[in-house]
Amino acid sequence: MSGKLRLTLAQLNPTVGDLAGNIAKAQKAHAEAAAASADMVVFPEMFVTGYQTQDLVMREAFTLDAMAHVRKLAEACATGPAIGIGGPLLEDGNLYNAYFILQGGKIVATMRKHELPNTHVFDELRLFDSGHISGPYNLNGIRIGTPICEDAWHDQVSETMVESGAELLIVPNGSPYYRGKFERRINHMVARVIENDVPLVYLNLVGGQDDQIFDGGSFVLNRGGQLAVQMPLFDEAIVHVDFSRTADGGWAAEHGEKIAHVDEWEQDYRVMLQGLRDYLAKTGFKKVLLGLSGGIDSAIVATIAVDALGAENVRCVMLPSEFTSQSSLDDAAEVAENLGCQYDTIPITQGRDAVTETLAPLFEGLEPDITEENIQSRLRGLLLMALSNKFGSMLLTTGNKSEVAVGYATIYGDMAGGYNPIKDLYKMRVFESCRWRNVNHRDWMKGPKGEVIPQRIIDKPPSAELRPDQKDSDSLPPYEELDAILDMLVDQDFSVAEIVKRGYDRATVKRVEHLVYISEYKRFQSAPGPRLTHRAFWLDRRYPIANRWRDEG
């Protein structure tokens, strides 16, 4: 029996549905593990298919194809290190989230996920069947247990595996980011280590998939909960970890690199950037465009886009009307110049006049109102989508979470587009993110260093500029107040009474609640965007569109 074990941890970015591409990544990592004389290379949860597959995994043809690719991988890597890799398993009419151990050209062991998450973005109870808790498998004399992701958030699965003889736990994960998530992860894993007195490997995916961004941050814990290895956040990485048998017959990982984590502002910015970058890469787009208004929201979106894709792949368009201030024209031009991207100006006055004239017989005798304001926004959406169609660039939308929450956006107007990098970023955090980016630059950013967003954009009162002297505060509470109410109402599910007890005016809270509910139909049709919180609009929060209930408590 050997007293040594070398594991290769492959923290990689798969693409949902790209079975051949994901297997190619696995083969390349296997070759690297073989060159390092590893005993086994391990991959995250559902790596073969990418994650999350949602209902795609319920298509039998897809699952059978994925299983065939697992067998092909086993045959292609018949020599060298064993492989641990996640994928779906269709067996006796049941569908499992599974983890396969490949060695000698065959599948030698299969684990089936037992605890199926059914909260936040996960609805695995709808997709998969719960498997029986698997016992450990033997790898060169060490018995390994593999709780799959959620399995390790509950004590039963790990405890059962260790009681069955597991000396080491390898936990493959598809755990997406939300602010503060890593602390929750490591606390749960430390608990499993302390409870069972065995070392633990936590291996996570990286990369964006629609609204979810997997942030990696894989790590190894020794007995007692001591951190031995800490892999990077967000970046693909392959790390070799050596384990040795200890004097008391257990196992311990040799200490390796421990990469320090950055603060939540940098993490959020990286998530927005990575979400956009991977969304384009995985949907086939190369370039983006957006309406650059001279305001703070479009400025931060343009900056994120340039940092993600490079200035040569970003086109900014100013679409002024007579209500557009000279300062907005100057600010938009300066942002585009600072970022180095293409900048065009398309006045909308002539087109708006034509629409107004066309509608005049039907609107005769009626006072102008929000209808005319929204015509401007929808005309801008039409022109931007025309550019998107003609040049093949994806249109980005620029509404922050505060606006998305209360419907302060025009459906089929400024909501038109394919992706919204700031969809889960409240307005007050938009201000802070701009300040952060102006004084920080990282090697994963393709944009220029320095103050790319002029300070006057950050300082000036927000305005849609759809009528003379318009300000957002004409229609909404101040953003400091609005964001605080929305955080409690949306993110924390507080009741109206609980919010009022914290010092907020009941009429204002009720008005915000009403706006949130009546805007559901807009959000149902809105572009996806990267999830930053545990209560992002879409899978985290699923409300009916037609809904007359209001909290009268």
Q: Per the structure block, which two tokens stand in for 527?
A: 């572009």
CA 289 distance to own-chain centroid:
21
CB atoms within 10 A of CB 179: 16
Alpha-helical runs (H) found in 463-539: 479-486, 496-501, 506-518, 520-524
Say whether 149 is catalytic. yes
Q: Do 306 and 314 contact (CB within 8 A), yes or no?
A: yes
Task: Classify residue 131 by its DSSP letter.
Answer: P
- Catalytic-role residue among 149, 316, 341, 434: 149
Q: Sign of the CA dihedral 253, 255, 259, 261?
A: positive
In this structure, the strands spanning 314-318 and 342-345 are parallel
Say whether 77 is catalytic. no
CB atoms within 10 A of CB 113: 29
**Integer Cα distance of 239 and 292 in angstroms:** 42
Cis-peptide, bond into residue 52, ω within 30° of zero: yes
Of residues 342, 366, 281, 352, the one with CA closest to residue 321: 352
**Integer Cα distance of 292 and 136 in angstroms:** 57
Of residues 244, 235, 196, the one with CA closest to residue 214: 235
Q: For residue 95, what are the β-bridge partners?
A: 90
**Integer Cα distance of 542 and 536 in angstroms:** 10
Q: Which residue is it, tokens 């086994």?
A: 40
- Catalytic-role residue among 25, 77, 113, 282: 113
CB atoms within 10 A of CB 65: 16
Report the catalytic residues.
45, 113, 149
